[in-house]
Structure 1
Amino acid sequence: MTEYVTSADGTRIAFDREGAGPPVILVDGAFQFRAFDPATAELQRLLAERGFEVVRYDRRGRGESPADPPITLAQTLDDLRALVDELTEGTDDAVALVGNSSGGSIALAAAAAGLPVSKLVVFEVPLDEELGTDGADSLAGLREHLAAGDADATIRYFMHGMPPEWVEGARRSDAWPVMTGLAASLEPDTESLAWTQSAARSALWAGIAAPTLVLVGTETLDVMRPAAESLVANLPHAELREIEASDHRWEPRSMALTIAEFLVG
């Protein structure tokens, strides 16, 4: 059943929860929301079966959480804070965050901003070179495309670093109209990745006390393993684990078992 929390600026954020136990929030990456991503819905169910209260929400500008652009990383963190407050109301509890892809960089930003995070799990955060300008350049370009109002061109721009066959496959699929409808909501994804290059990572993440599990697929894009190693090298309490996954996609049951083992441990 869909529930709602109200973010700091009055925007309603839709979510559903499943299970009972320590609270976990799934933080989606680009193009994901509850009605469009059955694999994460299955992950939610499997984690709930393993003794967690698992929340999946529609990020601002997606699904049942409509919002006017521009959509910023600061607003996205406010939305997460509202969900954390809902789950921990009247207690001193903290919440585990599980971030997929650019959802992982959003989860890192949330932890660095001081949200009460018990543990972090991130899967294949697509980091570029530390202290590089790629992220800032991508953010500026994305904002230019959004301002021009061409959603099709915006999505093609956002996907420009991905394998060409991924882009072409998406354009030929029934999913493309849904993806173009999410264009404005991609700004926080890009902004969070730019943030990871905004200072030395050891300084940027020094305040993240939560134990962190960094996951990378057995078959993955060239950028992902160096990115995972950078996360482990610069987070205070992080470990790297390889998981059966390919083409930036994971299998829900294997993912759930890995996450549950880490959260319980």
Structure 2
Amino acid sequence: MRTLPVCTPMDNVGRAESGDGTVIAYRRAGSGRPVILVGGSFGTARTSAPLAGLLAADFRVITYDRRGRGHSGDTAPYAVEREIEDIAALLAAAGGSASLFGVSSGAALVLRAAAAGLPITQIAVYEPPYRADPAEVADRPAYSRRLAALLADGSRAEAIGQVLTGVGVTAAEIEDLRHTDDWPSLLALAPTLAYDDALIGTGLVPADRLADIRVRAMVVDGGASPPAMRAGARAVANALPRGRHRTLTGQTHAVAPHVLAPVLREFFAA
């Protein structure tokens, strides 16, 4: 893998070549110790920009388009290991090591990257998509089959609806979203929802894998999120050898950047 020299002081836009040759597009903001932000199911460098802007006064923040999204490339067949290699390429672009923050499925990717032994200094995750109770993931195989079928049929809107419903978005809210300017971009990245599904796996807290993560780790959840989501976050924190847990009062899965940023700033500055 190699970093492609396209960054300029004017735009702070760059590209990194992953292990399989896929080009990953990223942006940099601020200065100081590097922090890489990893988006969730519908996340891109653009959607991470508000949080990046709040952190850029203290850190050199890198946001990126995960493979298959935005300005990044994609190479078939997909494997979780390829996304870990993408992060390895970004770490090289950051100077060799960095802290990582991930939200939702991006949190799962951060945890996978840390367990793989990449040169990560510390990690923070918001509501990783795992459950502590096996009964709460009993329908995961059926969910995955339906998602794959919808995407294979080109039913992107229905696939988006299934994923959003799974994180507590109501049918009325989904219908409202279909009439916003954001909808076309969501349709464009819908095929990558299968990548997130692969990242989540069984949906149970992967305690054995988490036990291999030796860096400082913080797991955050929202006080207004569903109880199962919050229980999963606590279980992830408990499974991490150096894990700690924080709850943001009043926040949901769609956490407000201005509430999250001070918590990340304090943790990453330590």
Fold match, TM over 0.5? yes
**Deviation string, structure 1 residues 70-101 (Cα, Å, up to 9, x no partner):** 54322211111111122234xxxx32110011
1:109 matches 2:109: no
Kindly tell me: are residues 125 and 57 of structure 1, through their superposed partners in 2, closer, same or farther at Cα, counting changes over 3 Å? same
The partner residue of 1:77 within 77, 80, 84 is 84
Distance 2:241 2:196 in 1: 23
- Does residue 163 of the first structure (1) align with residue 176 of the second (2)? no
Kept in 2: contact 1:244–1:254 (CA 8 A) = no
- Structure 2 unaligned segments of length 5 or more: list them: 1-10
| Separation in 1, partners of 2:61, 2:202 | 27
Q: For 1:239, give the aligned amino acid.
A: R
After TM superposition, the structure 1 = structure 2 runs for residues 108-187 of structure 1, keeping only pairs within 5 Å, are: 108-129=111-132, 132-161=137-166, 162-164=168-170, 165-187=172-194
What is the CA–CA distance in structure 1 between the aligned matches of 2:240 and 2:213, rounded to whole Å?
7
Q: CA RMSD in A?
A: 2.1
Change (3 A) 1:195 1:119: farther
Question: Separation in 2 of the partners of 1:235 and 1:128?
Answer: 15
Query: How far, CA to CA, are the matches of 1:194 and 1:43 in structure 2?
Result: 28
CA distance in 1, matches of 2:162, 2:85: 27
Helix, strand or coil: the match of 1:59? coil
1:136 deviates by 4.4
For 1:219 and 1:188, the matched residues in 2 are separated by: 27
- Taking a change above 3 Å as real, the CA distance of residues 251 and 177 of structure 1, as seen in their structure-2 partners, is same
C-alpha deviations, 1:189-225, integer Å up to 9, x for none?
211211653xx73312111001111111132223221
The one-letter code sitting in structure 1 at the alignment partner of 2:95 is T
2:7 maps to none
Contact 1:97 1:119 in 2 (8 A): yes
Equivalent in the alignment of 1:11:
22
Which of 209, 221, 227 does residue 216 from structure 1 map onto?
Answer: 221
> Which of 14, 19, 41 matches 1:30?
41
Percent of aligned pairs with the same residue? 32
* Distance in 1, Cα, partners of 2:79 & 2:161: 20
Query: How far did residue 19 of structure 1 move?
Result: 1.9
Q: Could you tell me which residue of structure 2 aligns to residue 41 of structure 1?
A: 49
Name the aligned partner's letter for residue 21 of structure 2: G
**Bigger RCO (CA 8 Å, 6+ sep):** 1
**One-letter amino acid of the counterpart of residue 45, structure 1:** G
Aligned to 1:240: 245
Instruction: Tell me the SS of whatever aligns to 1:88.
Output: coil
1:118 corresponds to which letter in structure 2? Answer: T
What letter corresponds to residue 40 of structure 2 in structure 1?
Answer: G
Q: Which moved more, 1:19-28 or 1:218-227?
A: 218-227
Q: In 2, Cα distance between the equivalents of 1:86 and 1:98?
A: 17
Call closer, same or farther: CA 1:180–1:63 in 2, change over 3 Å: same
State the Cα distance separating 1:262 from its structure 2 match: 0.8
Deviates more, 1:59-68 or 1:138-147: 138-147
* In 1, Cα distance between equivalents of 2:207 and 2:155: 38
**Cα distance between partner residues in 1 of 2:211 and 2:22:** 31
Q: Distance in 2 between matches of 1:125 and 1:135?
A: 16
Query: In 2 relative to 1, CA 195–105 (structure 1 residues): closer, same or farther, beyond 3 Å?
Result: farther
1:56 Cα offset (Å): 0.4
Partner Cα distance (1:148, 1:72) in 2: 21
Distance 1:195 1:6 in 2: 30
For the structure 1 residues 211 and 63, does the alpha-carbon distance in structure 2 shift closer, same or farther, using more than 3 Å as the test? same
Q: Quick one: which amino acid aligns to residue 212 of structure 2?
A: G
Q: How many residues end up aligned between the 2 structures?
A: 255
How far the C-alpha of 1:117 sits from its partner, in A, is 1.4
